[in-house]
Amino acid sequence: MNYGPLIFLAAFFALAASWFGLVLTPQMQVGHLTQTNTVPAEETYPLARMGLARQGLDVYRANGCAYCHSQQIGQTATVCNVVLAGAGTNKTALIQALLTLKTNWSEAQAAEFVAKLPQPVVESVTREEADVALKALKVGGAKSELWVVPVGPDIARGWGKRRSVAEDFLYDSPVMLGSQRIGPDLADVGTRKADVEWHLRHLYAPAVEVNGSLMPPYRFLFERRRIERARSPDALALAGKLAPETGYEVVPTPKATALAAYLVSLRADVPLYHTPLTVAAPPASTNEVKAPGVTGTNTPGMTGTNGPGTALTNSPGAAVTNAAGGAGVKSNSASATKAPAK
């Protein structure tokens, strides 16, 4: 029997199926990506890299940076924080509402909290739990906000604020995503290291900028030359063993300048529709300072009111007073005499 046509059809379908799966579907998913808008600012994203930074991508590729650095941040989940931004008019009702959410708080602690807004009330909860808190805090015109916070190991390392998405690379062709992570992820390196000079010195001598760095130096991207009339403004500020002999200077070649421009242009910190993230608005930027120290602000705050108030329940506060007054037996005995008096 002649199986020829059957074998041909089987091979055809096998190849066609893999073409659909591996070529056509990805092309339909990301092949027609266009610029999108940031949320809620509605700014166009992404913008093409500036000329020098665009050239830097080629230098990045040519020097194999992607062998040790990835440019894709992962994220495991999104959690919610509820931030109380304004107390409104009815403070008593607000304090009662806070006490329903924070059952272990005393009324004095809640009042202390309300005096120092904006502050997060609940952190790292699901959307449902956040909605419960938001509803509870809707009293007397109090203003509370829902913050969306991406979490995951990469974000905990400080490598970025949200996961990388295809749009981030819209104008990078070819994309140097990388898969090895001998060094840190660079998808958002421009926000944590925005200084071009730092990048140049780091490329010239990584171990000088970062103690014990394993990154190889890229000295061939720099030129050591005799100072002609005056020192070049671009010359690297090098000290110690690396400093060139007198009369000489080390200047970056155009390749190094382009690479540094590319590195500072690497930013993936804007919120998009499919990777939501709450960015502190300029007036709310005090939040950023306060947010990490929420527990911190509470504890000193508690010791502050403590004198007359809740000293007995407050063990961390007690420890602080002891430590501070360590040598001062007086302060210890003072609080000791005060305590029974309560």
Binding interface with ligand HEC (CB under 6 A): 60, 63-65, 67-69, 182-184, 186, 189, 192-193, 199, 206, 210, 213-216, 218, 259, 263
- Contact of 169 with 268, CB cutoff 8 Å: no
Quote the CA–CA distance of 298 and 255 in Å, as a whole number: 50
Shortest approach of ligand HEC to residue 65 CB, angstroms? 3
**Nearer to ligand HEC by C-beta: 157 or 274?**
157
**Nearer to ligand HEC by C-beta: 133 or 176?**
176
Burial class (CB in 10 A: 0-12, 13-18, 19+), 209: middle
Q: Which residues pair with 120 in a beta bridge?
A: 83
**Nearer to ligand HEC by C-beta: 213 or 232?**
213
Residue nearest ligand HEC, CB atom distance: 183
DSSP string covering 94-159: HHHHHHHH-TT--HHHHHHHHHT-SEEEEEEE-HHHHHHHHHHT-STT-EEEEEEEEESHHHHTTS
Quote the CA–CA distance of 155 and 124 in Å, as a whole number: 14
**Nearer to ligand HEC by C-beta: 162 or 199?**
199
Shortest approach of ligand HEC to residue 260 CB, angstroms? 8
**Nearer to ligand HEC by C-beta: 83 or 263?**
263
149's CB contacts (< 8 A; 6+ apart) are 78, 79, 80, 81, 124, 277, 278
**Nearer to ligand HEC by C-beta: 80 or 186?**
186
Shortest approach of ligand HEC to residue 76 CB, angstroms? 21
Q: Which residues pair with 147 in a beta bridge?
A: 81
Shortest approach of ligand HEC to residue 3 CB, angstroms? 53
φ/ψ of residue 168, rounded to 5 = -55, -25
The amino acid sitting at 108 is A
**Nearer to ligand HEC by C-beta: 67 or 248?**
67
Shortest approach of ligand HEC to residue 210 CB, angstroms? 4
Quote the CA–CA distance of 90 and 294 in Å, as a whole number: 24
**Nearer to ligand HEC by C-beta: 19 or 67?**
67
Shortest approach of ligand HEC to residue 117 CB, angstroms? 34
Shortest approach of ligand HEC to residue 72 CB, angstroms? 15
Shortest approach of ligand HEC to residue 238 CB, angstroms? 16
Alpha-carbon Rg of the chain, whole angstroms? 29
Shortest approach of ligand HEC to residue 202 CB, angstroms? 6
Please choose, from the candidates 50, 53, 36, 57, the residue with its C-alpha nearest in 3D space to the C-alpha of residue 173: 57
**Residue with tokens 């940031």, as numbered in its chain:** 38
- Contact of 294 with 119, CB cutoff 8 Å: yes
**Nearer to ligand HEC by C-beta: 113 or 218?**
218
Going through the chain in order, the beta strands assigned E by DSSP cover 36-37, 44-45, 77-86, 119-125, 143-151, 222-226, 248-252
Quote the CA–CA distance of 224 and 231 in Å, as a whole number: 12
